Amino acid sequence: MARKRSLSTVQAALRILAYLAEHPEGVEVKEVARLLGKSLSTAYALLNSLAEEGFAVKTERGYRLGTTKPVPVESPRGPYLGEALEELYLRTRERCYLALLTPEGVRLKTRGRQGQPHPLGDTLPEEVHALALGKVLLAFGALPLPPLRPRTPYTLTDPLALEEELKRVRESGLAAEMEEYAPGLSALAAPLFGPRGELLGALGVVVPARRFPFAFSRLARALSEVAQVSPHLSPPEPPSLAPPPEPSLRVEAVEPPRTLREEANLQDYAEAYRASLEDPEAFFGPFAREFLWESPWKEVYDPENRRWFAGGRTNAALNALDRHLPQRAQQVALLTLDGEGRLEKWTYRELHDLSRRLAGVLQALGVQAGDRVALYLPTGVEAALSLLALARLGAVHVALPVGLGPEALRERLVQSKARLLIAADSYFRRGQAIPLRPVVEAAVHGLDLPILWHPRGTTEFLERASEGRSVEAVPVEAHHPLFLLYTSGSTGKPKGVVHGHGGYMVGVAWALRYLFDLKPGEVFHTTADLFWVVGHSFGLYAPLLLGGTSLLVEDRPDHPSPAAFYERLGRLGVDVLLTSPTVLRLLRRHGEARPTALRLVGSVGEALAPEVWRWAQENLAWPLDNWWQTELGAPALATPLALPAKPGFVGVPLPGVEARVVDAEGRVLPPGAKGHLVLLRTGPAHMVDLLGGESPWRGGLYWTGDLATWDEEGYFRILGRTDEVIKVGEARLGTAEVEAIALTHPQVAEAAAIGLPGEEGEEMAVFVVPKKEVPEELKPLLAEKLKGHLLRHLGPVPPPRIYFTESLPRTRSGKILRRLLKAELLGMDPGDTSGLEEGYGTGKAS
C-alpha cells in the first residue's frame, strides 16, 4: 500500500509516456491533467520533468514523445525515498526535505527552488527538537534526545512539554513546528516507514510565512499522502526524558540596584512604617507642613472618624501652583503631547496665570465653592487647567472619561448634579479625531446644563481662559471635596468616590516622593489618562504639588508604534514612568525594548505577573509594583526601593496603611493561605465620601474586594477580585494566579481566566492572546500545550478550556472585563459596558 502510493509519480509518468506515444501529433497539458485526474499544475510539473529528462519534447501544440525511451528501473530503497521527496516537492512546490537514516547516520536531502541553498546543509543541527523533521526522528526513537538548549524564544525547550509533543507526534503521525529555524517560517514533517514497519527516515515541507496559514491544510494533506503515514504502526518506546524544571513561579527576592537603593528618598521602610502607625503626627506632620495651610490642623489623624488633618484649611491648587512661585516660575510643570502630535511646555508661571484666570471665567459662569462641575475632556492642558481652576475655587471636579457613551454620560451628569459641563468637541485615538459633540448633545438633551466647549484644533478655550479675571485660591477645610470620580465599571454599577483637599494632597505627594522616588529636576510620566484616578493623582496633582514636571499624552502610549513610545521617553528624558501591566504586556509582546533614560517604572491597575515584572526589569527599569484603588487615592501596598522585590508579590503596606488577609468572617489567615484582602487603616489620601455605593468599611475593616495571600515577611500577593475567584474541584484559584501562569508560556501574550458554571463546581476557561497569530490548524496543538502547562503549575484540578482571541475586553483603565467574557460565553447580558475600552471587537473565541 505504501509502495503503491509513493510510486504514484512514476506510474503517472509511465501513463503520460504511453499517452504521448498514442498521440504523436502532440498532447495538451489539460488532456494530461484530465488523464491523470490531477490538477493542471501537477500535469505541468510532470510534463516538465519528463521534458527535462528528454522523455518528452515541448512543441507549439503541447508535448509529444521524446527521442529517448524510458528505462524502467527497479527502485532500491534510496531512490524510492528520493522519489518521495520529489513527489512531495512536485505536489507542494515548497521546499521539501528528507532525513534518511543510513548506517553512517542521518543524511539530509533537500528539494527546493533553484538558487536557494538550504540553511541546514546536509546534516541535522544539534537543535533537532526545534525542527519538525527532528521531532519525528525523536518521537520514533531514531535519535537520542540532545541536550536542550534554547534556540529562539519560540522553540519549545521545556522537557515535559516536549515529551507531550512527541507523544502527540507518535499518535498523529505528523509533527508541526511553528517558527522553524527562522521566525516566520513553519514546517510539517511525517515519518517514512519501510514495508516491515521500520523507520526509514522523515519527510518534511516548509510553510513559508507568505503562504501562512492558507497553505497549511493543503501541505499537511500532501505530506500525509506522500509519506503514507499509518498511525497504527506501533512505534518503539519513547526515549526517557529529564525531570521537569521547577515551576517558574517560585518566588525569589530581587534586590534593587545598589545606587537606586542608596539614593532612595525612603531609606528605612521598617522605621517609617512603625512611626507612621505609632505617631501619625510626628510622621506625616513635618511632610504636610511643607505645604501652605491657612490654618493648621488640630490632629493629623483622627482614627475614630478616619479623618486626616481635621481642622486644617488649605487648597490643593494653591499648593500645586502658587506655592512654587516665584522660585519655579520658569520651570516646566507640564509637557503636553496632544493627539495631533503637538508638544507643548507649560511653566508654573503659565499654569498659575491661566488657571487663576480660568477660575475667574468659571466664577463668572456662577461656579462657587462646593459646586460640582463635570469635565468631558481628553488628557491635555485644557483638562489640567480646568481641574486646577475648579480646585482653586473650592468647586468639585467630576472628570468623566471621554468615549463614554451618551447614556452613561447622562447618568453620571444627572447623578453628580453637575451645574456645568466642560467638554471637548473631539478627542484623538490612534491618530483619528473622534467627535464628542454628538455624544454630549445627546447626553444633555433636556437637561438644564450649560456647556463650556473646548473646540479642538483652536486656541479658543485658552484665549477665553486668559480673558478671565484672576481669582485667588479659596482656602477650604481639609476634607472639603476636591473631586468626584466614578470608578471604572469592572464590577457593575459605577460608584462616586469623593476625595478631599488636605489628606489627598499629602497622601499623593508623599507617595510620589517616597514610593516613586521622584527627585527634583526629574520628569515623571504616567500613561494613565487624566480622567482616571491615576491621572488625577500622578498625572497632575502629585507632580505639581512637589514642584516636578509631568508629561501628559493624549493618545495611546503605543501610538503610532511601540518604538515611538520609547523614542518619546528618551527624547523627553522621562525618568520615572507609572503605567499598567496592560501597557507593559503590550510592550513585551512587541519584543525588544529600546534604550531610554528611565530610572523606575511603576505598575498599577492589576496584578503584575512575574514574567512581565522580569521583562520590565530587564528591558525598561526597576519595576515598582503597587496596589491601590480609586477609593484609596494613592498606593496602599507596594515594594519601596528600600526593600527587595518579590516578583508576583505586590509588596508590603505603605506607611499609614495596615493590611491583613482574612476569611469571609474577618478572621486573620496565616501566611500562605488565600483570603480576602482587608485594610485596618488607610493612608491620608483615603476618600472622604462615597456616593451611590455600599461602604467598603464593614466591622472596622476596609474590604478591598480582592483575593490575596501573604508570606511570612509580610509581602502581599494579589490573586484577583474576590468575585473573580474560580472554584474548580477542591481548589479556589484567583484569576490573576491562573493568568500569571499562562503568561509564563512563551507563546502567550495576554491571558484572562474566568470560571464557568460546570457540573461539579466551576469549570475554568482561559482566554489567550497568542504572541503571534496562530494558524487555525495549530490551535488545538497550542491549546493542548497550554493545558499541560497550566496543570503542571496549578496542581490536580480539572483541565481548563482554552480559547484563543485577538484581544481581551478591558476597561479603559486597563482592567480585564472578565464579566464580559463570561457573558459572551454563556450568552448573557454583559451589563454596563460603558467603561469598556473602544477597539475591542468581541474577541473571536475558538
Partner 1 sequence: MALEKLLKEEERLWAPEGLRRQANLQDFAGEYRRSLEDPEGFWGEWARRFYWEKPFERVLEWNLPEHRWFLGGTTNAVYNALERNVERGLRNKVALIYLAEDGREEKLTYGELLDRVRRLATGLRRLGVEKGDRVVIYMPLTLEGVLSMLATAYLGAIHSVVYAGLGVAALRERILDAGAKLLIAGDVSYRRGKGVDLRSIVEEAIRDLPLKVVWFQRAFRTELPEGHYDFQEILWGSAPEARAEMVDAEHPLFILYTSGSTGKPKGVVHVHGGYMVGTTYHLRTFFDVKDDDVYWATSDIGWIVGHSYIVYAPLLEGVTSVLREGAPDYPDPGAFWQAVERHRVNVMFTAPTAVRLFMKFGPEWPKRYDLSSLRLVAVAGEPLNPEALRWAYTHLMEEGQRGFVADNWWQTELGGPTLGTPLTLPAKPGFAGVALPGVEAAVVDEDGKPVPPGQGGLLVLKRPFPHMMRTVWGNHERYLQYWREVPGGVYAAGDVASRDEEGYFSVLGRADDVLNVAGHRIGTADVESALVSHPAVAEAAVIGVPDPLKGEAIKAFVVLRLGESPSEELKEGLIAHVRRELGPIATPSEVVFLDKLPKTRSGKILRRLLKAQELGKDPGDLSTLEE
Q: Binding residue for partner 1 (CB under 8 A) from 156, 498, 523, 601? A: 523
* Nearer Cβ to partner 1 (23/345): 345
If one asks whether residue 573 binds partner 1 (CB under 8 A), the answer comes out as yes
The strand pairing partners of 206, in sequence order, are: 187
If one asks whether residue 24 binds partner 1 (CB under 8 A), the answer comes out as no
User: CB neighbours of 441 closer than 8 A, spacing ≥ 6?
Assistant: none
If one asks whether residue 331 binds partner 1 (CB under 8 A), the answer comes out as yes
Per-residue mark of binding to partner 1, 531-570 (x: CB under 8 A)? -----------------xx---------------------
* Residue 603 Rama label (left phi>0; alpha psi -120 to 50; beta): beta
Q: Is 451 helix (H, G, I), strand (E, B) or coil?
A: strand
Distance of alpha carbon 138 from its chain centroid, rounded?
Answer: 35
* Sole window of 104-112, 377-385, 516-524, 634-642 interacting with partner 1 (rule: CB under 8 A): 516-524
If one asks whether residue 457 binds partner 1 (CB under 8 A), the answer comes out as no
With both helix axes pointing from N to C terminus, report the angle between 735-743 and 779-794 in degrees, rounded to the nearest 10.
120
* DSSP H helices in 579-650: 581-590, 610-619
* Residue 144 Rama label (left phi>0; alpha psi -120 to 50; beta): beta
If one asks whether residue 385 binds partner 1 (CB under 8 A), the answer comes out as no
Residue 746 has a CB neighbour count (10 Å cut-off) of 18
Per-residue mark of binding to partner 1, 334-363 (x: CB under 8 A)? -----------x-x-x---x----------
Distance between CA atoms of residues 675 and 331, nearest Å: 48
If one asks whether residue 49 binds partner 1 (CB under 8 A), the answer comes out as no
* Nearer Cβ to partner 1 (267/347): 347
Nearest CA to 174 out of 186, 185, 184, 158 is that of: 186
Distance between CA atoms of residues 350 and 370, nearest Å: 26
Q: Binding residue for partner 1 (CB under 8 A) from 329, 414, 563, 668? A: 329
* DSSP H helices in 546-602: 562-571, 581-590
Distance between CA atoms of residues 452 and 363, nearest Å: 13
Cell numbers 463650556: residue: 452
* Nearer Cβ to partner 1 (195/560): 560
* Nearer Cβ to partner 1 (332/422): 332
Report in angstroms the alpha-carbon separations of 606 from 62, 585, 811, 815: 69, 12, 12, 7
Question: And the C-alpha cell for 118?
Answer: 538550504
Tell me how far, at minimum, the Cβ of 571 lies from partner 1, in Å.
8
* Nearer Cβ to partner 1 (30/519): 519
* Nearer Cβ to partner 1 (13/552): 552
- Return phi, psi of residue 616, to 5°: -60, -40
* Nearer Cβ to partner 1 (151/349): 349
Amino acid at 457: G
Nearest CA to 400 out of 436, 375, 434, 426 is that of: 375
If one asks whether residue 327 binds partner 1 (CB under 8 A), the answer comes out as yes
User: CB neighbours of 111 closer than 8 A, spacing ≥ 6?
Assistant: 85, 86, 88, 89, 95, 96, 97, 98
Tell me how far, at minimum, the Cβ of 349 lies from partner 1, in Å.
6
* Nearer Cβ to partner 1 (59/327): 327
* Nearer Cβ to partner 1 (353/832): 353
Q: Binding residue for partner 1 (CB under 8 A) from 520, 560, 672, 692? A: 520
Distance between CA atoms of residues 109 and 106, nearest Å: 10
* Nearer Cβ to partner 1 (15/349): 349
Distance between CA atoms of residues 373 and 375, nearest Å: 7
* Nearer Cβ to partner 1 (151/345): 345
- Which element (helix H / strand E) includes 64? strand 62-65
* Nearer Cβ to partner 1 (356/771): 356
444 contacts 410 by C-beta, under 8 angstroms: yes
Distance of alpha carbon 476 from its chain centroid, rounded?
Answer: 42
Per-residue mark of binding to partner 1, 471-510 (x: CB under 8 A)? ----------------------------------------
If one asks whether residue 302 binds partner 1 (CB under 8 A), the answer comes out as no
If one asks whether residue 521 binds partner 1 (CB under 8 A), the answer comes out as yes
Q: Is 374 helix (H, G, I), strand (E, B) or coil?
A: strand
Report in angstroms the alpha-carbon separations of 214 from 112, 209, 781: 20, 10, 17
* Nearer Cβ to partner 1 (320/783): 320
Q: Binding residue for partner 1 (CB under 8 A) from 85, 203, 321, 332? A: 332
If one asks whether residue 326 binds partner 1 (CB under 8 A), the answer comes out as yes
Tell me how far, at minimum, the Cβ of 444 lies from partner 1, in Å.
34
Tell me how far, at minimum, the Cβ of 575 lies from partner 1, in Å.
10
* Sole window of 71-79, 287-295, 325-333, 525-533 interacting with partner 1 (rule: CB under 8 A): 325-333
* Sole window of 257-265, 327-335, 440-448, 818-826 interacting with partner 1 (rule: CB under 8 A): 327-335
* Nearer Cβ to partner 1 (457/692): 457
* Sole window of 181-189, 256-264, 307-315, 515-523 interacting with partner 1 (rule: CB under 8 A): 515-523
Tell me how far, at minimum, the Cβ of 343 lies from partner 1, in Å.
9
* Sole window of 5-13, 15-23, 322-330, 717-725 interacting with partner 1 (rule: CB under 8 A): 322-330
User: CB neighbours of 306 closer than 8 A, spacing ≥ 6?
Assistant: 682, 686, 697
329 contacts 349 by C-beta, under 8 angstroms: yes
Tell me how far, at minimum, the Cβ of 259 lies from partner 1, in Å.
17
Distance of alpha carbon 411 from its chain centroid, rounded?
Answer: 31
Using CB under 8 A, count the residues that bind partner 1.
18
Q: What is the DSSP string of 716-770?
A: EEEEEEGGGEEEETTEEEEHHHHHHHHHTSTTEEEEEEEEEE-SSBEEEEEEEEE
* Sole window of 324-332, 467-475, 483-491, 718-726 interacting with partner 1 (rule: CB under 8 A): 324-332
* Sole window of 45-53, 328-336, 472-480, 667-675 interacting with partner 1 (rule: CB under 8 A): 328-336
Question: In the window 233-272, what residues touch partner 1 (CB under 8 A)?
Answer: none
The strand pairing partners of 645, in sequence order, are: 254
Tell me how far, at minimum, the Cβ of 381 lies from partner 1, in Å.
13
* Nearer Cβ to partner 1 (213/573): 573
* Sole window of 45-53, 207-215, 326-334, 497-505 interacting with partner 1 (rule: CB under 8 A): 326-334
* Nearer Cβ to partner 1 (167/519): 519
Tell me which residues touch partner 1 (CB under 8 A): 326-332, 345, 347, 349, 353, 520-523, 548-549, 573
